[in-house]
Structure 1
Amino acid sequence: MELFHKLARRNITISKQSGFGAKWRQQWEEVFARHLTAEEKRNIHLYDDDGANGYLWHVFSYETRDCLTEEEAEAAFDREEKKCCYIFFQHSDDAFKVEDASGLKAVDLVTENGEYADLYVVDSEFNWTFVITHERGWLGPYFSRR
């Protein structure tokens, strides 16, 4: 819970949302990967399958959806007018709600020990997403709009 405490120490109003991780991953897929067929999703390893970990952010790394990357993605996220947003993770059902995210910046989401390395942030309407991957420095971060 390093991230939760880190944000709380910055006086960012954050609350734990038990049971919402899977729900928000599903909603993210419905919004940001809806253009892909089931076969295309398998081809880009969107899901855990045959011993390989799946990642929703593969829609960006396989270039099947337009996005900003790296510093441009971080800058777009920092500039975004953020009100309520959700934070959730690829391989954890932990999820957080940030009531007033106006002060939330990309640098706030990086953790020292790699906890929650595959992190997704969306506004409450899923109009945009910011993703930090475990491949930081090689793939991502990504920012995309609906």
Structure 2
Amino acid sequence: MMRINSEKFQEFLTSQSVEIVERFDTKTAGQLRSEWKNTFAFGFRVPTGGLFWHVFTYEHAVYITGKQALRRFNEESPVAFVVFPSPSADSTCYYCKAEKMPDFSEYRDDLFVCNRDLDWTMACTHEEGLGPFYSRKEWQT
């Protein structure tokens, strides 16, 4: 499993032809995570030691998974997107641009990608064979 740290992750994004437009500070990253939770996990309490993507495995949010999730993710406009690891891994969030969506398949750590307006999200997990999960804001009730 490749653990995400800021320097290596930035190198990975660059290798995927992703331009890092901005690296959010801790406060902004925290606000973004709160917005993500309010959009995709509203009313869901992450258990102690729990992970954000449990909102999907506990069936709290509407989602698709696996190849279907990757297909929908790759259909999204890559013009601008946000990438952030699970809160326990790193507090960094990146605002990025690319001509095509990056391939996160070699990263086996918790990772979330969304557009800035949180119209959609994709969650990758550290668990082999679990995920990725793709969801849209309008799918949530």
TM more than 0.5: yes
RMSD of the alignment, in Å? 1.8
Query: For 1:1-146, what aligned pairs fall within 5 Å after superposition?
Result: 1-14=7-20, 15-19=22-26, 20-34=28-42, 36=43, 41-42=44-45, 46-47=46-47, 49=48, 53-90=49-86, 91=88, 92-98=90-96, 100-105=97-102, 107=103, 109-111=104-106, 114=108, 117-137=109-129, 139-146=130-137
- Structure 1 Cα separation of the partners of residues 111 and 30 of structure 2: 13
**Alignment: residue pair count:** 127
Normalised by the size of structure 2, how large is the TM-score?
0.80
**Aligned 8 A contact 2:17 2:98 in 1:** no
Percent of counterpart pairs with the same letter?
27
**TM-score, normalising length: structure 1:** 0.77
**C-alpha distance in 1 between matches for 2:115 and 2:98:** 9
Q: Give the C-alpha shift of residue 76 in structure 1.
A: 0.8
| 8 A contact 1:86–1:96 mirrored in 2 | yes
Distance in 2, Cα, partners of 1:102 & 1:57 = 27
Q: Residues of 1 paired with 2:85 and 2:12: CA distance?
A: 16
Distance in 2 (alpha carbons) for counterparts of 1:11 and 1:60: 29
Q: Secondary structure at the match of 1:93?
A: coil
Higher RCO, Cα 8 Å, sep 6+: 2
CA–CA separation in structure 2 for the residues paired with 1:25 and 1:136: 24
